[in-house]
């Protein structure tokens, strides 16, 4: 029996309370994040001149992280590294730093998400709360619960959040030890996080899928074919983001200059191309993808701008932009795949995220939670194929490869 399961068996009430407490603080942080990002995106949409300040805000946030961030600058990868091999405490300053950096990214026009911010806030606050309980020997489960509470709270998907907190650790099967160690705390924290957000009164976006599709055999074939395309898109995004990150590091040894230079490029692109719809979270673009067919270039534009924003060192997350990219790509397939625009958008929404994050099970469950059972099942097929086709590179470089995913015989040489 692991130390965590042994401690849980000895003090079950303590662990239930601690997991619930982690979910509550992560949910409160997620509610604050959602509210502030709603304000930031609305303010920017009404004052386009704010885009001119993106380079300066990028430099300021980059300098603060360089001067005071320390290990917090590693973001989600720090959390994964500490879960795999606990060495040092995740700094509490990670929470306010990533919140500030993310809000400024959105306020001034960067293209980023919020998942990374939510899970970093959740995990750093979880570790702080665990210190009060003096549960030092159970840091892995504490951090997993913080990740789950942040994810479940910020997206309103508690089942997916609980699975994400475990599945995100590895590319492939994470192993029964991690599942048994984390499933209880992750479930409690994720549901507590979601409930906290709802009780505070912060609302999540609803996506209009429309009528549920038939589960006739041919629709499964279409879902698989679409999934292969979604997997390729996820691979392009991950490769481009990592490539741009490496390029900015090579070009600018002084870290604050990276978002400064990236901010100039982003501002010029948005202003010259009038690409205002691709700044910020892009929630209106996601909703539009469910309602009407989108041109093929919409998903590509969001992909490129998000990879540039995050590669330059701006703060935020990848997941909501991945939702945008996937939904727009699915919507664009409507002329060639005989499924409704809403169903195709839902499939892409879940599958591009699942493939890029290497979390296919969380993607399937999220689709079921957000889009209903039949749409969720077809989206699940798309998630599975997208994951298989996306390759080993994902958005989280600290994920550890456990078991190799299936690959075609022609790729084995």
For 265-296, write each residue's pLDDT tens digit: 999 999 999 999 999 999 999 999 999 999 99
Which residues lie across from 160 on neighbouring strands?
none
Give the pLDDT score at 405: 46
pLDDT under 70: residue ranges of the chain: 1-11, 133-137, 172-177, 402-413
Give the pLDDT score at 243: 97
Give the pLDDT score at 406: 45
DSSP string spanning 119-141?
HHHHHHHHHHHHHHHT-GGGHHH
Structure tokens at 182: 């984390």
Give the pLDDT score at 135: 53
Give the pLDDT score at 410: 35
Mind spelling out the 3-state secondary structure of 87-113? CCCCCCCHHHHHHHHHHHHHHCCCCCC
Give the pLDDT score at 136: 55
Q: Domains, the chain, ranges and CATH?
A: 9-200 (1.10.3080.10), 217-401 (1.10.3080.10)
Residues 379, 375: Cα–Cα separation, whole Å = 6
Give the pLDDT score at 79: 87
Residue 401, phi then psi, degrees to nearest 5: -75, 125
Say how many C-beta atoms besides its own lie within 10 A of residue 217's C-beta.
Answer: 7
Give the pLDDT score at 4: 53
Give the pLDDT score at 98: 96
Q: What does pTM read for this prediction?
A: 0.92
Give the pLDDT score at 181: 75
């Amino acid at each position: 029996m692991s130390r965590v399961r042994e401690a849980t068996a000895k003090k079950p009430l303590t662990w239930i309370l601690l997991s619930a407490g982690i979910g509550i603080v992560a949910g409160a942080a997620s509610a604050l994040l959602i509210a502030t990002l709603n304000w930031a995106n609305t303010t920017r949409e009404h004052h386009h001149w704010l885009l001119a300040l993106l380079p300066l805000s990028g430099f300021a946030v980059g300098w603060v992280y360089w001067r005071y961030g320390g290990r917090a600058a590693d973001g989600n990868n720090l959390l994964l590294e500490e879960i795999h091999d606990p060495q040092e405490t995740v700094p509490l300053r990670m929470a306010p730093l990533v919140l500030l950096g993310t809000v400024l990214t959105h306020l001034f026009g960067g293209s980023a998400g919020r998942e990374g911010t939510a899970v970093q806030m959740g995990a750093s606050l979880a570790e702080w709360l665990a210190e009060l309980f003096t549960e030092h020997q159970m840091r892995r489960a504490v951090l997993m619960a913080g990740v789950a509470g942040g994810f479940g709270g910020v997206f309103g998907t508690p089942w997916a959040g609980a699975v994400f907190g475990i599945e995100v650790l590895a590319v492939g099967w994470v192993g029964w030890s991690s599942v048994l160690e984390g499933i209880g705390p992750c479930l409690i924290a994720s549901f507590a996080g979601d409930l906290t957000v709802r009780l505070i009164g912060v609302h999540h976006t609803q996506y209009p899928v429309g009528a549920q599709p038939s589960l006739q055999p041919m629709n499964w074939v279409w879902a698989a074919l679409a999934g292969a395309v979604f997997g390729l898109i996820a691979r392009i995004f991950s490769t481009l983001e990592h490539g741009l990150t490496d390029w900015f590091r090579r070009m600018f040894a002084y870290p604050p200059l990276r978002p400064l230079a990236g901010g100039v490029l982003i501002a010029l692109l948005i202003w010259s191309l009038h690409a205002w719809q691709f700044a910020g979270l892009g929630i209106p673009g996601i909703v539009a993808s469910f309602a009407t067919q989108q041109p093929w270039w919409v998903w590509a534009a969001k992909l490129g701008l998000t990879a540039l924003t995050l590669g330059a060192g701006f703060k935020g997350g990848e997941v909501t932009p991945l939702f945008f990219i996937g939904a727009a790509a699915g919507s664009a397939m409507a002329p060639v795949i005989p499924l409704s625009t809403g169903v195709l958008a839902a499939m892409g929404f879940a599958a591009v995220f699942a493939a890029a994050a290497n979390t296919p099970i969380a993607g399937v469950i999220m689709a079921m939670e957000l889009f209903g059972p039949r749409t969720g099942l077809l989206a699940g097929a798309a998630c599975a194929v997208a994951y298989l086709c996306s390759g080993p590179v994902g958005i989280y470089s600290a994920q550890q490869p456990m078991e190799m995913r299936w690959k075609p015989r022609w790729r084995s040489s």
